[in-house]
């Protein structure tokens, strides 16, 4: 069986009983960082009897055939990353997809997640959210990515490196506005855990200083915008019709852009004629 297991974000005491059992009994352990895995096993006082292999981004594809062979042969392959859940912005996805394609047995041992931990600590509405992985590194790509979040109604969670945090928050201020609420969560579950909450402008200013550790950022969802009165949109429809567009098409385009029902705008346009 292929077993994916969540590992503690920082505090080894967050390890589940099932994770301890899996470490002790796995035939093969595919670890993002073998040294960190062995340090975790030592902290948990759990013996490692299986073969331990490195399984980071650069070697993930090369490891795939051998790990699949192990599962086919009836061995238990345990996949762990440095912290949190495999396959969530960490190695693991390709192996799961390949095993699923062959209908090989797969299971997951749930546990710590920086995404949900940051959401809870952010103090922001998080009944609906989306996860964006790591923020783009290049300025142009980052700006285009942020532009897609301008009207995103859900809370947004993403990871960022400490040395790029200030730059990313400044870009967010420019694109999303200085008052968009956010939270920066640093070193979750560790000794120096810190959560900074406030408007983006305030957080961007704070991040100009030295920031260290693992960073998870939560952005508040965009506030809902109030749709304009249907009657105020009629001139825009009439202008498009005067330029040769069909009434039905003009109504559909204007209604979609303004977020109003097409039927109401259609009726209002007919009444004004």
Cα(4)–Cα(125) distance, integer angstroms: 30
Q: Is residue 73 a part of any domain in this protein?
A: yes
Instruction: Flag whether 163 is in a domain.
Output: yes
The model's pTM is: 0.80
Contact indicator for 14, 90 with CB cutoff of 8 Å = no
- When pLDDT is cut at 50, 70 and 90, the band that residue 166 belongs to is very high
Confidence of residue 51 (pLDDT cuts 50, 70, 90): very high
Same domain, 118 and 213: yes
**Across residues 211-222, what is the average pLDDT?**
96
Asked whether residue 255 is domain-assigned, the answer is yes
In a domain, 53, yes or no: yes
Q: Are residues 67 and 86 in the same domain?
A: yes
Q: Are 105 and 7 part of one and the same domain?
A: yes
**Residue 258's pLDDT is what?**
80
Instruction: State whether 7 and 25 are in the same domain.
Output: yes
Number of folded domains that form the chain: 3
Q: Of 67, 90, 109, which residue is a domain's last?
A: 109
| Tokens matching residue 134 | 């790591």
SS3 31: strand
Of 76, 93, 109, the position where a domain reaches its end is 109
* Domain assignment present for 225: no
Same domain flag for 24 and 83: yes
Tens of pLDDT, residue by residue over 87-136, are 998 999 999 999 999 999 999 999 999 999 999 999 999 999 999 999 99
Q: What is the CATH number of the domain that holds 74?
A: 3.40.1010.10
Task: Examine residue 64 and state whether it is found in any structural domain, yes or no.
Answer: yes
Question: What local confidence, expressed as pLDDT, does residue 223 receive?
Answer: 85
- In the numeric block, the tokens 């939560």 are attached to 218
- Identify the domain containing residue 236 by its residue range: 230-272
- Window from 16-30, 139-153, 225-239 with minimum mean pLDDT: 225-239
Give me Rg for the CA atoms of the chain.
25
Q: Domain holding 149: CATH number?
A: 3.30.950.10
CA-angle at 1, arms to 55 and 33, nearest 5°: 15
**Do residues 218 and 122 lie in contact, with contact meaning Cβ atoms separated by under 8 Å?**
yes
Q: Are residues 197 and 265 in the same domain?
A: no
What's the CA gap between 256 and 259, in Å, rounded? 5
Residues 201 and 244 in one domain: no
For all residues of the chain together, what is the average pLDDT?
A: 95
Q: Which of 109, 124, 139 is the last residue of a domain?
A: 109
- Mark whether 213 and 155 lie in a shared domain: yes
């Amino acid at each position: 069986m292929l077993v994916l297991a969540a590992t503690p974000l920082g505090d080894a005491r967050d390890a589940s009983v099932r994770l301890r059992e899996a470490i002790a009994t796995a035939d093969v352990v595919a670890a993002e960082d073998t040294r960190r895995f062995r340090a975790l096993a030592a902290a948990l006082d759990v013996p490692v009897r299986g073969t331990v292999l490195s399984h980071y981004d650069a070697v993930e594809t090369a490891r795939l055939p051998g790990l699949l062979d192990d599962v086919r042969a009836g061995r238990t392959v345990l996949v762990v990353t440095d912290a949190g859940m495999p396959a969530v912005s960490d190695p693991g996805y390709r192996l799961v997809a390949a095993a699923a394609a062959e209908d090989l047995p797969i299971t997951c041992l749930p546990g710590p997640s920086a995404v949900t931990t940051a959401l809870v600590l952010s103090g922001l509405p998080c009944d609906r959210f989306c996860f964006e992985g790591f923020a783009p590194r290049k300025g142009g790509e980052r700006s285009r990515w942020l532009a897609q979040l301008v009207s995103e109604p859900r809370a947004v969670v993403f990871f960022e490196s400490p040395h790029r945090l200030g730059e990313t928050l400044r870009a967010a201020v420019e694109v999303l506005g200085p008052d968009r609420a956010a939270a920066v969560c640093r070193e979750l579950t560790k000794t120096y855990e810190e959560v900074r909450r406030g408007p983006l402008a305030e957080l961007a200013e704070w991040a100009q200083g030295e920031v260290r550790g693992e960073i998870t950022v939560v952005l508040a969802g965009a506030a809902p915008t109030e749709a304009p009165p249907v009657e105020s949109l009629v001139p825009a429809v009439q202008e498009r019709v005067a330029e040769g567009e069909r009434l039905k098409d003009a109504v559909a385009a204007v209604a979609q852009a303004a977020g109003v029902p097409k039927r109401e705008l259609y009726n209002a346009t007919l009444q004004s004629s």
